[in-house]
Structure 1
Amino acid sequence: MEWAYLLLGATVGLLGGLFGIGGGTVLVPVLLLLFDAQQFPPEHLLHLALGTSMATIIFTALASLYKHHQHRAVDWNVVRTITPGILIGTGLGSLLATSIPTHFVGILFALFVYFAAAQILFDLRPPVSRQLPGKLIIRLFGVFAGTLSSLVSIGGGTVVIPFLLRSNLSIRHAIGTSAAISFPVAIGGTIGYVATGLNASGLPPLSLGYVYLPCLLWTAAASVITAPLGAKAAHRMNIGVLRKLFAVLLLLLATKLLFKVLG
């Protein structure tokens, strides 16, 4: 299983660097399959996948944002302004995720991935007609983005990048800034999933709350190697074709997840 975790981490790191996303949209469906194959308790499958995914994003985001920062593609004013709201939202989302029925969270996640894939596949970008809003609006948006990101275990890029594009940031700066924002999203979300899972019974050995540590070790190790490569490629190549392929991958994973939770 270690090789599967390594391959998954390498893929997520590369995609995270390229698109400024944490990689939860790929991690969660695949981890569900891997954890199910290891015969983890069915009632904990989704929460373990969500929590472990969020913890992995910490390392992916850190490696990715460092490379984007080297290319001067991170708007640190936006990052500093949005982070307090992000931290509040991720804690709220973690609490909601453990109190909402598993099937509902799974369906919500699948529908969210479909929406994200459609945006990428059909290049649905908002009109760029204004500048960044005031600090209050950015922080309130941070609460919303943090809640949704923690609830479905994503780094936040799928939510944050359209917001930044609408606020007249270039695509490369939106990706770089989103990569930096993914870090506090992952920190807050991981704390939430660890705390809410500490008293859960029947978790597999070597779990810290809803974070499965052996998986975290291997996926994080691979992702920190490939995330800088993806970030470097984002500043050197036309990623239009890769965006389309990524959207198709999201559609396939979301469909697989939807069949699983409905079945």
Structure 2
Amino acid sequence: MIDVVMYVVLGAALGTVGGLFGIGGGLIAIPVLGVLFGLDQQLAQGTALVMVVPNVLLALWRYHQRNHIEMRHAVPLALAGFVFAWWGSLWAVGLDAQAMRLGFVVFLVALAAYNLARMFMRKAEPSTELRQPWPWLGVLGAGSGALGGVFGVGGAVVATPVLTSVFGTTQVVAQGLSLALAAPSTAVTLATYALHHHVYWAMGIPLAIGGLLSISWGVKLAHATPEKVLRSLFCGYLVLCAVVLAFKV
């Protein structure tokens, strides 16, 4: 019982931080589960997905209530994300755990570098129309879904900044489309990891409960924090996790 309470509290903390950074709990939870609890990379990713999937579905439902998601843009993202997340997760579950962890460290560093570079890029005026033809959304969905399937983080962490920078969407539009991409891709990734016994359900379910209870707090805190401060904190967190995990490879 003590363990369950501890996992719920940890899930609440991870959900708050995930809401603060606007990425859900997966990218936050995986390093924590690997470092503090000693889970191997696949097990950490599969367990984190138990928390991520309901968070994404809840966020998508709430977003749909308040904002309109353009289906002609969401469908190619979601379909490509689903297929490539499935392929990526099938590949990931058969990899060596140490190699997976090293790949995850490289992914964190690359993500931190990209987000840091975006702080100094000139920002074009966002538009209601996509700068790139809609078939390129399928390419974005494929790439984001594959990375989400391999690393268990969902595609939103990759898709959102690309939608705002390359496709020229507003942040609100990007978040809605990213949620439409992440919902099916995270679900199929969790199913794949579960079928290959890479999910610790006794930990994942309490984490999910804690995350659902707290993610809204993080979102409120995010709205009260300047964007540059948030991005700097996010980059710092990614680099810190990469360094700590590197020592465990």
CA distance in structure 2 between the aligned counterparts of 1:80 and 1:104, rounded to whole angstroms: 33
Deviations 1:24-81 (A, max 9, x none): 2211111113432xxx6xxxx2211111112221011122233433442755443222
- Out of 157, 178, 203, which is 1:215 matched to? 203
CA distance in structure 1 between the aligned counterparts of 2:135 and 2:26, rounded to whole angstroms: 28
RMSD of aligned residue pairs (Cα, Å): 2.6
Judged with a 3 Å threshold, the aligned counterparts in structure 2 of structure 1 residues 75 and 110 are, in CA distance, closer, same or farther, namely farther
**Residue 16 of structure 2 aligns with which residue?**
14
Q: Are residue 239 (structure 1) and residue 227 (structure 2) matched?
A: yes
**Residue 154 of structure 2 aligns with which residue?**
155
Secondary structure of 1:99's counterpart equals: coil
Judged with a 3 Å threshold, the aligned counterparts in structure 2 of structure 1 residues 258 and 51 are, in CA distance, closer, same or farther, namely same
CA distance in structure 2 between the aligned counterparts of 1:110 and 1:26, rounded to whole angstroms: 13
**Residue 51 of structure 1 aligns with which residue?**
46
Task: Give runs of aligned pairs for residues 102-117 of structure 1, distance below 5 A.
Answer: 102-117=97-112
Please, which runs of 5 or more residues in structure 1 have no aligned partner? 198-208
Q: CA deviation at 1:219?
A: 0.9
TM-score w.r.t. the length of structure 1 is 0.80
CA distance in structure 2 between the aligned counterparts of 1:250 and 1:117, rounded to whole angstroms: 6
Secondary structure of 1:215's counterpart equals: helix
CA distance in structure 1 between the aligned counterparts of 2:121 and 2:160, rounded to whole angstroms: 10
Judged with a 3 Å threshold, the aligned counterparts in structure 2 of structure 1 residues 4 and 109 are, in CA distance, closer, same or farther, namely farther
User: Could you tell me whether the CA contact under 8 Å between 1:13 and 1:23 is conserved in 2?
Assistant: yes
**Residue 28 of structure 2 aligns with which residue?**
26
CA distance in structure 1 between the aligned counterparts of 2:14 and 2:150, rounded to whole angstroms: 19
Judged with a 3 Å threshold, the aligned counterparts in structure 2 of structure 1 residues 66 and 227 are, in CA distance, closer, same or farther, namely farther
Please, which runs of 5 or more residues in structure 2 have no aligned partner? none
User: Could you tell me whether the CA contact under 8 Å between 1:16 and 1:61 is conserved in 2?
Assistant: no
- Out of 72, 75, 78, which is 1:80 matched to? 75
CA distance in structure 1 between the aligned counterparts of 2:11 and 2:120, rounded to whole angstroms: 28
Q: CA deviation at 1:156?
A: 1.7
User: Could you tell me whether the CA contact under 8 Å between 1:16 and 1:60 is conserved in 2?
Assistant: no
Secondary structure of 2:169's counterpart equals: coil
Deviations 1:171-200 (A, max 9, x none): 2332343234322221011111122x1xxx
Q: CA deviation at 1:215?
A: 1.2
Judged with a 3 Å threshold, the aligned counterparts in structure 2 of structure 1 residues 4 and 245 are, in CA distance, closer, same or farther, namely farther
TM-score w.r.t. the length of structure 2 is 0.84
Q: CA deviation at 1:85?
A: 0.7
